[in-house]
Amino acid sequence: MEFDLSNVKDDILLVDKPAGWTSFDVVAKIRGMRKAALRAQGITPTKRQLKVGHAGTLDPFATGLLIILLGDATKRSDEFLKQDKVYEATIRLGQTSTTGDPEGEITDVNNRQPSQEEIEVALQKFMGEITQTPPAYSAIKIGGQRAYKLARKGQDVEIPSRQVTIYSIELLEYSYPELKIRTHVSSGTYIRSMAEDIGKVLTTGAYCSELRRMSIAKFRISAAETIG
Active-site residue set? 59
Phi, then psi, of 72 in degrees rounded to 5: -65, -15
Q: Are the CB atoms for 210 and 92 separated by under 8 Å? A: no
DSSP β-bridge partners for residue 16:
65, 226
DSSP β-bridge partners for residue 76:
none
What is the Cα–Cα distance from 67 to 58, expressed in whole angstroms? 10
Instruction: Compute the Cα dihedral for 111, 113, 119, 121 and give only its sign.
Output: negative
CA distances from 183 to 119, 165, 170, 180 (A): 15, 11, 6, 10
DSSP β-bridge partners for residue 169:
183
What is the Cα–Cα distance from 215 to 69, expressed in whole angstroms? 16
Q: Are the CB atoms for 61 and 101 separated by under 8 Å? A: yes
Phi, then psi, of 202 in degrees rounded to 5: -85, -5
Q: Are the CB atoms for 134 and 140 separated by under 8 Å? A: yes
CA distances from 138 to 110, 122, 167 (A): 27, 25, 23
CA proximity to 171, closest of 96, 125, 120: 120
